[in-house]
């Protein structure tokens, strides 16, 4: 997609969109693609914004056509998340968190700074938004939500205003506070709860390990970029040496070597992009997702607490009734009986809700685990294929150079 209006150029990293996935199963439907970005009209400085094109391809009849494209701003994505979390979190669904807000990165882009880092930032965000939407629509329950359909189809969306506080990071902060509170509660230990207890522990461990792995992959990305830079510098130096060399054949070989190193530098740069987009971002996504999983365990906790509080309240009301009977105050007795009935109903309702949310959370976690395994497998294979491609190129370059080295006389 050609950049317009002084938009920094986008990288050519396009996600793999073949008709069938690796096991010959059905491709994702609907399929989401974000591409292109447009700087707002007359927008310069801090009032400028980026709009991303969101294209959907689907065979589902709930949409009004098979392919359609809309324009959305980053705040629209945040707005979608807000709506979905408001509705579905409390039922124990894992609502995928949106990409992080980044003030620094975005400022550079808005101010029109055309350097590789701002181009990279835009590409990073574009890819993250795409993955975010794809996750939302691959959730069978969320796909049914009219807000999702509206987001994908509707020409103009009302601007989401209250997304200031609720970015991905803000949400996670809120979650962490909730988790702390929850861990202080005592839990009734029955068979079902043991499953949940072990599961939440697994999730916590996995999140820790994944954070560590992510740090290491980020280190790899940086070192690979450094290697690329140093290779380029070395290539120039070898070229200079070659031009200074007075033996003709050796001089030629050295300038060929400089060319090879230049091509290798390119390889390293491409590999660094792969390190980042295929591996590092996968981990970043899953660290956020594991946070969301913890969130739905919290919701179950809240539901349990509500039920327990209702039980306690019912108990209190029964005590009040007993006291009134003993004190023989018939006029207040009816009120007490009414309140008991009210709280008995609440207890039943909350117990049922707790069981429902437990079942949902359980189902969600199982679905999440499956998707995670599938996601990682696909990305690992893609990543290894990128490494493979890089090595095969390397062989080509060195094999082309070998006769040049042998020709030195």
Check: CB of residue 70 under 8 Å from CB of residue 63: no
Strand pairing class (67-73; 31-39): unpaired
Stretch that binds other proteins, among 55-63, 227-235, 336-344, 345-353 (CB under 8 A): 227-235
Closest approach of other proteins to the CB of residue 196, in Å: 17
Per rule CB under 8 A, is residue 267 in the interface with other proteins?
no
- Give the separation between CA 333 and CA 317, rounded to whole angstroms: 11
* Contacting range for other proteins; rule: CB under 8 A; set: 108-116, 127-135, 210-218, 337-345: 210-218
**Binding residues with other proteins: total (CB under 8 A):** 57
Q: Scanning the structure block, which residue is given the tokens 């491709």?
A: 27
Q: Which two tokens stand for residue 300?
A: 């179950």
Residue 225: CB atoms within 10 A of its CB come to 17
Site for other proteins in 375-394 (CB under 8 A): 376-377, 380-381, 384-385, 387-388, 391-392, 394
Contact call for residue 284 and other proteins (CB under 8 A)? no
- Name the 3-class secondary structure at 311: helix
Q: How far is the CB of 27 from other proteins (least distance, A)?
A: 17
Question: Strand order of the sheet with strand 31-39?
Answer: 31-39, 50-57, 67-73
- Contact residue for other proteins among 38, 143, 241, 333 (CB under 8 A): 241
Span of 35-43, 112-120, 220-228, 311-319 interacting with other proteins by CB under 8 A: 220-228
Examine residue 169 and tell whether it contacts other proteins (CB under 8 A).
no
Burial class (CB in 10 A: 0-12, 13-18, 19+), 46: exposed
- The least distance separating other proteins from the CB of residue 68, rounded to whole angstroms, comes to 34
Size (the chain), residues: 409
Region binding other proteins by CB under 8 A among candidate stretches 46-54, 82-90, 94-102, 238-246: 238-246
With CB under 8 A as the contact rule, the residue among 1, 202, 311, 344 that binds other proteins is 202
Q: Please, which of residues 89-108 interact with other proteins by CB under 8 A?
A: none
CA quadruple 145, 148, 153, 156: dihedral sign: positive
**Residue 72 host element (H or E):** strand 67-73
Number of neighbours of residue 219 by Cβ within 10 angstroms: 11
From residue 12, alpha-carbon distances to 2, 87, 231 in Å are 11, 37, 22
| Interface with other proteins in residues 339-358 (CB under 8 A) | none
Q: Check residue 402 for interaction with other proteins (CB under 8 A).
A: yes
Long-range contacts of 73-77 (CB under 8 A, 24+ apart): 73/49, 73/159, 74/49, 74/50, 74/101, 74/125, 74/129, 75/159, 75/160, 75/163, 76/151, 76/157, 76/159, 76/160, 77/129, 77/132, 77/133
Instruction: List Cα–Cα distances, 378 to 21, 224, 245, 296, 374, in angstroms.
Output: 9, 23, 50, 26, 6
Nearer to other proteins, 51 or 227 (CB): 227
User: Among 41-49, 132-140, 233-241, 296-304, which window interacts with other proteins (CB under 8 A)?
Assistant: 233-241
- Give the nearer residue to other proteins in terms of CB position, either 62 or 215: 215
Query: Residues 155, 156, 191, 246: which binds other proteins (CB under 8 A)?
Result: 246
Residue 205 or 335 with smaller CB distance to other proteins: 205
The one among 11, 49, 68, 401 contacting other proteins by CB under 8 A: 401
When asked if residue 16 is in the footprint of other proteins (CB under 8 A), the reply is: no
Q: Is the separation of the CB atoms in 167 and 92 below 8 Å?
A: no
Question: Does 244 engage in binding with other proteins (CB under 8 A)?
Answer: yes
Cβ atoms < 10 Å from Cβ of 15? 15
CB 270 → other proteins: shortest distance, Å?
A: 14
Interaction site with other proteins (CB under 8 A): 22, 202, 205-206, 209-210, 212-213, 216-217, 219-220, 223-224, 226-227, 230-231, 233-234, 236-238, 240-241, 244-247, 249-250, 253-254, 257, 369, 372-373, 376-377, 380-381, 384-385, 387-388, 391-392, 394-395, 398-399, 401-402, 405-406, 408-409
């Amino acid at each position: 997609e050609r950049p317009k209006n002084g938009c920094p150029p986008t990288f050519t990293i396009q996600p793999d969109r073949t008709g069938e996935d690796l096991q010959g199963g059905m491709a994702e439907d609907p399929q989401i693609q974000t591409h292109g970005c447009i700087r707002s009209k007359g927008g310069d400085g801090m009032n400028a914004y980026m709009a991303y094109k969101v294209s959907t391809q689907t065979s589902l009849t709930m949409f009004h056509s098979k392919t359609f494209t809309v324009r959305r701003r980053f705040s629209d994505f945040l707005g979608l998340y807000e709506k979905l979390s408001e509705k579905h979190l409390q039922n124990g669904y894992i609502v995928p968190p949106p990409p992080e807000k980044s003030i620094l990165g975005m400022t550079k882009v808005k101010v029109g700074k055309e350097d590789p880092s701002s181009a990279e930032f835009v590409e990073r965000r574009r890819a993250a938004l795409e993955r975010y939407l794809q996750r939302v629509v691959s959730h069978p329950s969320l796909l049914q939500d009219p807000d999702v359909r509206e987001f994908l189809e509707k020409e103009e969306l009302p601007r989401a205003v209250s997304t200031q506080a609720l970015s991905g990071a803000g949400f996670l902060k809120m979650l962490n506070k909730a988790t702390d509170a929850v861990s202080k509660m005592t839990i009734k230990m029955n068979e079902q709860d043991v499953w949940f207890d072990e599961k939440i522990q697994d999730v916590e461990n996995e999140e820790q390990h994944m954070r560590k792995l992510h740090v290491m992959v980020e280190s790899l990305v940086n070192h690979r970029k450094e290697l690329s830079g140093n290779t380029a510098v070395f290539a120039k130096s070898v070229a200079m040496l070659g031009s200074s060399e007075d033996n003709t054949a050796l001089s030629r070989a050295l300038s060929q070597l400089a060319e090879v190193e230049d091509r290798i530098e390119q390889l390293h740069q491409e590999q660094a992009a792969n390190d980042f987009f295929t591996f590092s971002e996968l981990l970043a996504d899953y660290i956020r997702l594991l946070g969301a999983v913890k969130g739905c365990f919290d919701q179950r906790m809240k539901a349990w607490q509500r039920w327990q509080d209702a039980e306690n309240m019912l108990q209190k009301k029964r005590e009040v009734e007993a006291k009134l009977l003993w004190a023989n105050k018939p006029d207040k007795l009816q009120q007490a009986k009414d309140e008991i009935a009210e709280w008995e109903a609440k207890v039943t309702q909350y117990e049922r809700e707790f069981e429902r949310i437990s079942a949902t959370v359980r189902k969600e976690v199982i679905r999440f685990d499956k998707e995670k395994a599938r996601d990682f497998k696909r990305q690992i294979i893609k990543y290894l294929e990128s490494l493979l491609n890089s090595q095969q190129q390397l062989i080509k370059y060195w094999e082309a150079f070998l006769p040049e080295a042998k020709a030195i006389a």
